[in-house]
Amino acid sequence: MNTVRHDLANVRTPDLRRAVADYTGVFGFECRLHVPGVCALVVHGPLQVQLWACGAVPGRWERPTPGDRGFMPGHHRVEVPRIHVLHASLRSAVLRPCRTALGGHRPLHAHRFEGESPRWQPWGAWELALTDIDGNVLHLVDRVAWWPDVSAQRQPGEHRMEDRS
């Protein structure tokens, strides 16, 4: 698992074009840089993801990496500030209705974000997992120890910070 302190995740993908379309079209990221077949930088608020194409055919001077077994999804730990604001923005992007020929206006990717919200972890941080189209998991972590909103809905068994003794 990679730990990054600068809110940047380096993620490998077998299909860069599809990954960029997923991050921008589904999760609402903005593509700041795209070098076709090589890499792309996508940004959503404080979260930056650098997508790297893997499995590309080596160029004139490049050789394949010895022992490379091809693409395998990774797990990346990324520290982000204001995780609740980021979660709300990602959720609204994923759940925005889109026009489909089958069902009219409905959230097409709702299944990818159902029930997910930042959870308070016993080690003192808020954590949220985000899975992209290739199966890469971004573990977003915010070490700010406060409850985001007094009127926030509590899940069964959850307590606010001031409720703990």
pLDDT per residue as tens digits for the range 60-80: 555 666 666 667 888 999 999
What percent of the chain is modeled with pLDDT above 90?
33
Stretch among 47-61, 85-99, 102-116 having the lowest mean pLDDT: 102-116
Domain spans of the chain?
2-57+73-163
What is the tens place of the pLDDT at every residue in 11-44?
999 999 999 999 998 899 999 999 998 899 999 9
* C-alpha–C-alpha distance, residues 136 and 132, integer Å: 6
Smallest Cα–Cα separation from 26: which of 79, 91, 118, 75? 91
Q: Which whole number is the average pLDDT over 2-19?
A: 78
- pLDDT at position 8 is 87
The H helix count followed by the E strand count for the chain is 2, 11
- Strand intervals (E) in the chain: 2-4, 8-13, 30-35, 39-44, 47-53, 75-79, 97-100, 104-107, 119-121, 125-131, 137-142
Are the C-beta atoms of 72 and 82 separated by less than 8 Å? no
Under a CB-based contact definition with an 8 Å cutoff, are residues 81 and 6 in contact? Answer: no
Q: Give tens-digit pLDDT for 116-163.
A: 788 888 888 999 988 899 989 999 999 876 665 544 544 444 544 444
Query: Contact at 8 Å (CB) between 97 and 107?
Result: yes
Q: What is the pTM of this model?
A: 0.71
* End-to-end Cα spacing for the chain: 32
DSSP letter for each residue of 99-126: EETTTEEEETTGGGTTT---EEETTTEE
The contacts of residue 63 (CB under 8 Å, 6+ apart) are none
Topology, domain 2-57+73-163? 2,3-Dihydroxybiphenyl 1,2-Dioxygenase; domain 1 (3.10.180)
Q: Which residues contact 152 (CB under 8 A, 6 or more apart)?
A: none
CA distance 124 to 42: 28
